[in-house]
Amino acid sequence: MKKERFVEISDLTVSFPGGIEAIRSLNLIIKEGEFVSLVGASGCGKSTLLKVISGLLKPSSGNVTIDGLSPHQARKKQHDIAFVFQEATLLPWRRVIENVYLPLELRNIPCPKEKLLSILQLVGLEEFAFSYPAQLSGGMKMRVSLARALIMNPQIMLLDEPFGALDEITRQKLNEELLTLCEKESWTSLFVTHNVFEAVFLSHRVLVLSPRPARVIADISVPFSYPRSPELRGSAEFAQVVGEVSHHLRQAQ
Amino acid sequence: MHSWLRIIQKSLAPPFVLFIFLLIAWHLGTKFFAIPHYIFPSPQAVYVATVNHFPEIIQASLLTAAAALSGFLLSFFIGLGAAFLFSEFSLLRRSCYPYAIFFQTVPIVAIVPLIITWFDVGFQSIVIIAFIISIFPIITNGTVGLSEVDTNLYSLFTLYSASRWQILCKLKIPHAIPYLVAGARISVGLSIIGAIVGEFYAGYGTSHYGLGYLILLAAHQIKTAYLFALILASTLLGLIFFGAANGVGNFLLRYRKAEASSFRKGKS
């Protein structure tokens, strides 16, 4: 049974010292297993929202709950929250396989090499298990970053523009791979991006945020069923949804 | 052609040819202008002095090396300790760091007599001089390396509930290693300068006949060819130290070497 109110954000306000308000009175409910994208102008507070959900940042007022728990409690109770940053954020002195093992290592959970290799196989990097990050391309590093997030069997995936620094071809390929993984693992995802095509291609729902302080100004359901094929990008229906999201984005400015 | 042959031809042959050329020019120059050997000895004279004084030069080089190495090791570990305290306790850093910078600007030669007043002439004073002159690059580089970790990496460790100890061992220390390697490269060179300068002042009247002491002695006795040989030995010592530091550094930083071979498999 999927929970209807898995992530619940009510009346969230985040302001920084110096009086800059990043988020004002934001309300949001995410179903279990849902893939939600956040689009909005740069610096509008999207990343701040992910940090609050992960518990890295405390809200100034309002509430964030994950399955009824605070982010901090949720993390302690093994409702694991994985965070994927815009940069791959790997430890350059560790081999790929050791980077993937890091989250378990920090919690002193042993993990057989076979499991690590199978995770790497999932992202197509098993032959590079013993390479160093410096030996990998940008797209491959990002795959390692995804594998590291997957190793915890997370319930929530927070992705902060993970493919923003990649070229278009690699980005599309990784989008497709992410969708495949998503169906297999059925986690709940929050995906921050600038790219409307990417948002529509991946998500159940696309949320358009206003410029700072961030509020949800449009909540658009994407009507396509999963699994989605790459051909979807060329269809007229796809273009229509992209048009609708872009329209709201323009109005937000 | 073998690749090592090409390397020899490309990078070793030109400086070697230049070396031979300069040697000939030096020889002809001293002959042609009839320069007195005590002003500028010929290459043969330097060679003869080296052979004649070989045991002393080797013994002095080993003593100087021991003093420089002791000074360097002291400065590395004490400097690392200071850098660790500075990075963990920001109040300590803010109060002490300006003084660390200030002391760095004190010319070491100016305080050498003071060190001899306190610690007397001999090996211990020379080590202390080498230590003081070589510690600052370790402190400054170590502090930067231990404290300026990428905020996203830091967030990642927090997200995975890493303890302070885990953050130190698995994030901060490995992150600081390239900085410490850069600091150590500067520091080993300085430790030799410190040891030789120390021997100028604190190397006499004891059993410590290091290179610095012999350099002064040779200069006073106007044995210029011997002086040349000693300068050559000091230079070689510096090269060996720098080479060793480089070797250890390259070994520790081998993960940075991106091998082009892994791209051949053609993954995006």
Interface ipTM? 0.85
For residue B205, the model assigns a pLDDT of: 63
- What would the pLDDT profile of A64-117 be if each residue is shown by its tens digit? 888 888 888 887 776 688 899 988 899 999 999 999 999 989 988 888 888 889
Least confident range of A92-106, B9-23, B250-264? B250-264
CB–CB of B156 and A56 under 8 A? no
Which chain A residues touch B160 with a CB distance below 8 Å?
102-103, 106-107
8-state DSSP, B9 = I
CB–CB of B159 and A169 under 8 A? no
What CATH number is given to the structural domain containing B213?
1.10.3720.10
Rounded to the nearest angstrom, the minimum Cα separation between A1 and chain B is 28
d(CA B142, CA B144): 5
d(CA A136, CA B268): 9
Beta bridge partners of A81: A156
Rounded to the nearest angstrom, the minimum Cα separation between B72 and chain A is 26
CB–CB of A135 and B170 under 8 A? no
Could you tell me if A187 and A156 are in contact, meaning their C-beta atoms sit under 8 angstroms apart? Answer: yes
Please, which pLDDT band fits residue B268 given cuts at 50, 70 and 90?
very low
∠ CA(B252), CA(B258), CA(B260), 5° rounding?
145
Size of chain A, expressed as the number of residues it contains: 253
In a domain, B27, yes or no: no
- What would the pLDDT profile of B168-188 be if each residue is shown by its tens digit? 999 999 999 999 999 999 999
Tally of domains in chain B: 1
Give the residues of chain A that fall short of pLDDT 70: 1, 78-79
For residue B193, the model assigns a pLDDT of: 93
**Nearest chain A residue (CA) to B164:** A106
Residue range of the domain that includes B194: 61-267
Count other Cβ atoms within 10 Å, centred on residue B171: 21
Q: Select the residue of B166, B174, B267 nearest A93 (Cβ to Cβ).
A: B174
In a domain, B198, yes or no: yes
Rounded to the nearest angstrom, the minimum Cα separation between B120 and chain A is 45
* Residue A228 CA, distance from chain mean position: 18
Exposure letters A176-201 (e unless 16+ CB within 10 A, then b): bebbebbeeeebbbbbbbebbbbbbb
**pLDDT over threshold 60, residue B105:** yes
8-state DSSP, A202 = H
**pLDDT over threshold 90, residue B72:** yes
For residue B265, the model assigns a pLDDT of: 43
In a domain, B46, yes or no: no
Strands A205-209 and A188-193: unpaired
Which residues are CB-contacts of A29 (< 8 A; sequence separation ≥ 6)? A4, A5, A7, A8, A9
**Nearest chain B residue (CA) to A77:** B161
Give percent above pLDDT 90 in chain B.
Answer: 59
The encoded tokens of residue A166 equal 């990649």
For residue A22, the model assigns a pLDDT of: 86
In a domain, B37, yes or no: no
Whether chain A has a CB inside 8 Å of the CB on B164: the answer is no
- What would the pLDDT profile of B205-238 be if each residue is shown by its tens digit? 666 689 999 999 999 999 999 999 999 999 999 9
Rounded to the nearest angstrom, the minimum Cα separation between A93 and chain B is 6
**pLDDT over threshold 60, residue B259:** no
CB–CB of A106 and B161 under 8 A? yes
The encoded tokens of residue B239 equal 């090269």
Question: Residues B7-21: what's their mean pLDDT?
Answer: 85
Chains A, B: CB contacts under 8 A, how many? Answer: 73
CB–CB of A92 and B256 under 8 A? yes
CB–CB of A127 and B265 under 8 A? yes
For residue B208, the model assigns a pLDDT of: 65
Which residues are CB-contacts of A150 (< 8 A; sequence separation ≥ 6)? A82, A119, A122, A123, A181, A185
CB–CB of A135 and B258 under 8 A? yes
Beta bridge partners of A221: A205
Least confident range of A209-213, B77-81, B123-127, B141-145? A209-213
Give percent above pLDDT 70 in chain B.
Answer: 93
In a domain, B30, yes or no: no
In a domain, B56, yes or no: no
Question: Residues B23-44: what's their mean pLDDT?
Answer: 87
Please, which pLDDT band fits residue B258 given cuts at 50, 70 and 90?
low
Which chain B residues touch A137 with a CB distance below 8 Å?
263, 267-268
In a domain, B21, yes or no: no
Rounded to the nearest angstrom, the minimum Cα separation between A105 and chain B is 9
For residue B219, the model assigns a pLDDT of: 92
In a domain, B104, yes or no: yes
The encoded tokens of residue B95 equal 């109060």
Q: Where are the alpha helices (DSSP H) in chain B?
A: 3-7, 13-32, 43-52, 54-88, 90-104, 108-119, 123-147, 151-159, 164-167, 173-202, 211-220, 224-252
For residue B104, the model assigns a pLDDT of: 79
- Nearest CA-CA partner of B203 in B215, B192, B191: B215
d(CA A39, CA A14): 18
CB–CB of B160 and A102 under 8 A? yes
Residue type for position A226: Y
Please, which pLDDT band fits residue B145 given cuts at 50, 70 and 90?
very high
Average pLDDT, chain B: 88
For residue B86, the model assigns a pLDDT of: 92
∠ CA(A69), CA(A70), CA(A73), 5° rounding?
80
Q: Is the dihedral of CA A41, A42, A47, A48 positive or negative?
A: negative
- Residue B40 burial class via C-beta count within 10 angstroms: exposed 0-12, middle 13-18, buried 19 and up: middle
SS3 content of chain A, % helix, strand, coil (to 5): 40, 25, 35
Helices (H) and strands (E) in chain A, counts: 8, 9
Question: Residues B94-108: what's their mean pLDDT?
Answer: 83
